[in-house]
């Protein structure tokens, strides 16, 4: 191998190295962007999962902590009162108490 061939080989290696370094910079930038996006999506997912686990609703106009321990009854009564007040319902039939099967004897 003569000196000329060695210079050509060195030039090819330098060009290849420069190209790889450029590609590496682009890939590092893309990886950084994807990591940031993944972090944001993970936080959003955790927020949605946390919200989906909660059994709470916010009723505008009702102060917090006014429902007491029987939340279901409080909300039911509140809805019925509001519907009656607005004239949407005039009569709500109360469910009849069921006869206990053992009380027939």
pLDDT tens string 47-100: 999 888 877 777 777 777 777 777 788 888 888 887 776 666 555 555 666 665
CA distance 1 to 4: 8
Is the residue at 39 inside a domain?
yes
Residue predicted with more confidence, 25 or 82: 25
pLDDT of residue 42: 97
Our count of domains for the chain comes to 2
Residues 34 and 47 in one domain: yes
Does 21 have pLDDT greater than 80?
A: yes
66 to 54, 77, 98: CA distances (angstroms):
18, 13, 31
Q: Verify that 3 and 50 share a domain, yes or no.
A: yes
Please check whether residues 84 and 42 belong to one and the same domain.
no
Q: Domain residues for 47?
A: 1-54
Residues 50 and 61 in one domain: no
The pLDDT assigned to 97 comes to 62
Q: Are 78 and 62 in contact (CB under 8 A)?
A: yes
Find the angle CA(41)-CA(47)-CA(51) to the nearest 5 degrees. Answer: 145
> What is the model's pLDDT at position 18?
82
Question: 1 and 50: one domain?
Answer: yes
Among the ranges 1-5, 41-45, 79-83, 88-92, which has the highest mean pLDDT value?
41-45
Q: Reduce the DSSP state of residue 59 to 3 states and report it.
A: coil
Contact by Cβ (8 Å): 75, 59: yes
Q: How many residues are given for the chain? A: 105
């Amino acid at each position: 191998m003569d000196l000329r061939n060695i210079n050509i080989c060195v030039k090819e290696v330098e060009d290849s190295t420069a190209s790889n370094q450029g590609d590496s910079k682009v890939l590092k930038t893309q990886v950084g962007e994807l990591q940031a996006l993944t972090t944001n999506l993970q936080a959003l997912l955790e927020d949605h999962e946390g919200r989906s686990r909660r059994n709470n609703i916010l009723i505008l106009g009702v102060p917090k902590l006014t429902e007491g321990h029987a939340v279901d009854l409080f909300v039911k009564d509140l809805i019925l009162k509001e519907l009656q007040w607005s004239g949407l319902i005039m009569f709500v039939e109360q469910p009849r108490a069921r006869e206990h099967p053992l009380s027939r004897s």
